[in-house]
Amino acid sequence: MTTTITAATMTVTITETLTLGGNNYNSTIKKEISSIGNIHKRIYTLNATSTHTIAEFASSITNNKFDLDDTKYIRITNLDDAANLVVTYAGASVAAGARIGPGNSHLLFDHNINGAASASALTSYVDIANLYIRNNESSAVDVEVCIATL
């Protein structure tokens, strides 16, 4: 049986609008990602005060792991209106994290990450191995995750 799905170009558009002192500081950035053939889009309910493994990445598709080299886009959106979440992108030997505030999103257009224990500029990167999201709140929080691959 052959697939009936044809890969397509995914377009991600970020639009900023701001007027200060009568001057517009608007900007639209459009990123096109060609040959996307797979999309994983899901809303997860994150239990209170716990860390959740959202995605795992490997050198090839294995069980529920995403193919690392085929991963072209990751978006995490906090669907809560009050809670903060902590996203961790973990590699084999490093991890990088960010807070995602209520209604905010975090985007990656690459599968490479890095982190540091000191306040210095990073000069290299490693492949992402795991995507974790921590809910520090005392109640459950919903998050939407979108991962696009070739």
Helix %, strand %, coil % of the chain (to 5): 0, 60, 40
What does the pLDDT look like over 58-93, one tens digit per residue? 998 888 899 999 999 999 999 999 999 999 999 988
Task: Tell me the CATH number of domain 36-149, given options 3.40.640.10, 3.40.50.2300, 2.60.120.10, 2.70.150.10.
Answer: 2.60.120.10
Of 72, 76, 82, 132, the residue nearest 102 (C-alpha) = 82
pLDDT at 142 over 80: yes
Give yes or no for a contact between 84 and 101, defined as CB atoms under 8 angstroms apart. Answer: yes
What mean pLDDT do residues 121-125 have? 88
Contact 89, 128 (CB under 8 A): yes
